[in-house]
Structure 1
Amino acid sequence: MIPPSRNGRILAIGGTVDSLGTGLFLAASTLYFVQVVGLPMVAVGAALGIGSVCGLLSPVPMGRLADRIGADRVFIGLLVIRAFGYAGYALVDGYPAYLGLTCLLAAADAASGPLFQAVIGDVVPAEERSATMTSIRAIRNIGLSAGFLLAGGVQALHWTPAFQILFAVNGVSFIATGLAIRRVRATATARKADADVVGDSAADVPAPYRDKRFIGLVVANAFAMLHDSVMFVLLPLWVVKVLDLPPSLSSVLLAVNTVQTALFQGYLGRAVQGLDRSVRTTRLACGLLVLTCALFAAAAVAGGTPAVIGAVVGVMVLTLAENLLVAASWELSYVVSPEPKRAQYLAFFSLGFGAQRAVGPLLMTAVVLPAGGLGWALLGSLFLLAAGGTTAATRLARAA
């Protein structure tokens, strides 16, 4: 679980503190704004939806700026915005302020992910890039879980200043990542200078939205990332409405997902290096996702105890596929992104996940869940398309 390089370990420490604060915020914020501030639930949901749209629009322009002045500089700037923004939630007392702050932070959050990936690629050796990303993800899961537990204590107090202190702590947590970036940025500057000497000029590289092969890769990744909506949107509803089991089972299944990710994500990430291996891993992960669909469909038919067993096994297979796919997509997106515009390409690649988050929940609730076995078959075919699309896009990239 520990990143292999010194720079990776420094970033992991900052990311752990960051994720602890994020866990605090995620677990307590909605309750605070609905029950304490008094905002309507529908209005809070609408603000989060509008924020998601802002998140779709922000990564590419931030990536373009990062290619000009450095990913580390832009990322630190976004961390400052997020630090003051999340701490500023403590001062929100009405809907306009809540809506504006939510949109600003959703845009900053969405742009930060691919820039963090670019920074890691700059400061760790190529052979440790995927291992470092997946190790940090595993450690962040632990930080999130700790934040969830601490937030439960804050909620139990029913004391408004406790929530406001929580928001301030979350804001400060972003400073930890910023300090970590400052510690390793000298390495990033040196690597960037070396790349500028031997690499292609930015003028020779098309923008990512004009690179048809890369667009194909982004679309394929969006299909593959539907596993996220399966886990967090479809599964809880499926447990209650199809299996007719208590909602508590969905919490157990989510815990299985979190624990398995924390235990094995870092280990699996070390096995994914280079273009060929990341493509093979993507195909394997998509095959496991198809198997997951079959297991869930069979569990719905079986009912009773076999259904519970099938659901648990299905989540374990789904989690394995998720962990493999995350590692493969990080490595694949980095390897195929041309260095002079790498931040732009990574930002554009992240739009696939953003699109999935926008469309996936509706697909799960309006199509897959009502259609039963046919819905699982449709979902499985999308995962097969993801595997085929990734293979085809990378073959075209090699031929160019």
Structure 2
Amino acid sequence: MRSTSPSARRRFIAASFVDAIGNGIYVPLTMLFVHALTGQSLTAIGTGLTLAGLGALAAMPAVGVLIDRHGGKRVYIGSLALRAVAFALYPLATSYPAFLAVALAVAVGMWASAPSQQSLIGEMAEGAERDRLLAWNRSLRNGGMGFGALAAAAMLAVGGGTGYLAAALALAAAFAAAAVLVALVPAQRDTTAPETTVRAEGGYRDVLADRPYLKITVANFLIGFGYTAQAIALPVFLTRDVGIPDAVAGLVFAVNTALVAGLGVPVARRLIRARRGRAAALGTAVFALSFAAFALLPALGGTIAIVAVLATAVVYTAGELIHSAPAESLAVHAAPDHIRGRYLAVYQLSWSLCRTVAPMVLGLLLDAGTWQLWAALAAAVLTGGALLLHTDRTRSARVTAQPVAVPA
């Protein structure tokens, strides 16, 4: 059974935390950051970022192949180094073609990070130890995102272009430091089998033929709208339809981040013995309950509405805590070792595609009325939960041992 030393796990977790701090700095500032550094119009920036995102989506199949050929560690280091170089070059990307090139590099690095990181965890540990490492990684990443958001706010307080230049340099340094930390993690990948033998054992045709895994991926796409709604739709709904102050809407995000960071590992430990598909489906039911509560909030007012918003945010976070740990573990455990990169690349596509179309879909639902958004989200997550339950009945969450390659 594969296992890593405590020092190797600490280096990996530290790298993941620093990586998350970088994302926490960049994501809230994206439009302002790029506008301040490149001088491009907001319309041009929005178009360029969309094109970069689509380019990164198209690159995901190649990322899966690279992971299977060279291991999650090398690809994760590459994704971090790519972002470090890109952010260092952002202040120089004053022409539109240069901006597009840098934006594409950032997008590819961001989308390649998750499957390569999950694959590295799969290479480092198995069974319950793998679940614990996934839980620690997820929990500290949420903490890192929150810390990065605070750092972004501090850089904005500097004012002028100085703050954005400092953000670019801080991002380059953060991702470079994370790459160095990952490089210090001992390699766990089996290098005894010839690379040609590994390549011959499977490809994307095998992934597409694995119907249970495709159901897991489709379920993740549907449930992903419940996650993206928090950042895209919820602030608008709370301020426009419920009528609460902007500060309270920000507090909802802070409560969610703090609870996920603080309770992620304990909740994951409680769920280790449960079947992953069933536990993740239970999380979708709690999600749907919170969406029903959100739909009722516009009927309230005053202090009662604020208290109800915070209580509903806690229920929403409980759904996230119950769903996220077993869902991620299911995706990693159900992927065969020898083509795990391709499997996780397909799984990551479901997240990426959801995040690409979510702004348009959620915007249309917000314009439709006060309850339509939450009804649609509840239907989406419950459908995803039903798919996970069906997968659990037809195929238990398996851990596939890597086939032994017999030399010719």
Q: TM-score, normalised by structure 2?
A: 0.87
TM-fit CA distance, 1:295:
0.8
SS in 2 for 1:58: helix
Q: Secondary structure at the match of 2:275?
A: helix
Q: Where does residue 130 of structure 1 map in the other structure?
A: 131
CA spacing shift, 1:398–1:259, aligned 2, 3 Å? closer
CA contact (8 A) 1:227 1:318 kept: no
Could you tell me which runs of 5 or more consecutive residues in structure 1 were left unpaired when the two chains were aligned: none
Tell me the equivalent position of 2:365.
Answer: 367
- Compared CA separation, residues 176 and 373, structure 1 to 2 (3 A): same
Show CA shifts across 1:344-370 (max 9, x none).
001101111112112222222212552
Runs (4 or more) in structure 1 with deviation over 6 Å come to none
Which residues of 2 match residues 1-400 of structure 1 at below 5 A? 5-35=6-36, 37-186=38-187, 188-190=188-190, 202-203=201-202, 206-273=205-272, 277-367=275-365, 370-398=368-396
Secondary structure of 1:189's counterpart equals: coil
Q: Which runs of 5+ in 2 are unaligned?
A: 399-408
Q: Percent identity?
A: 24
- Residue 307 (structure 1) shift: 2.4
Partner of 2:404: none
- Deviation of 1:8 (Å): 2.2
Count matched residues.
393
Call closer, same or farther: CA 1:379–1:150 in 2, change over 3 Å.
Answer: closer
Over the residues paired in the alignment, what is the CA RMSD in angstroms?
2.8
Distance 1:399 1:127 in 2: 13
Q: What is the rounded CA distance, in whole Å, between the counterparts of 2:386 and 2:34 in structure 1? A: 44
Deviation at 1:162, TM superposition (A): 4.7
Larger helix proportion of the pair: 1
* 1:38 to 1:244, Cα distance in 2 relative to 1, 3 A: same
Task: Give the CA deviation at 1:210.
Answer: 3.4
| Cα displacement string for residues 65-92 of structure 1 (whole angstroms, at most 9, x for unaligned residues) | 2112222222222222221112111222
Deviation at 1:55, TM superposition (A): 2.7
TM-score, normalisation: structure 1? 0.89
Change (3 A) 1:220 1:32: closer
Q: Alpha-carbon deviation of 1:399? A: 11
Tell me whether 384-393 or 147-156 shows the greater mean CA deviation: 147-156
Q: Which residue of 1 aligns with 2:403?
A: none
Paired with 2:37 and 2:170, the residues of 1 have a C-alpha distance of 19
Give the Cα separation in 1 of the matches to 2:152 and 2:80.
Answer: 22
| CA deviation string 1:136-166 (max 9, x = no partner) | 2222333333333333333233353553343
In 1, the alpha carbon distance for the partners of 2:227 and 2:317 equals 10
Moved more, 53-62 or 160-169: 160-169
**Helix, strand or coil for the counterpart of 1:185?**
coil
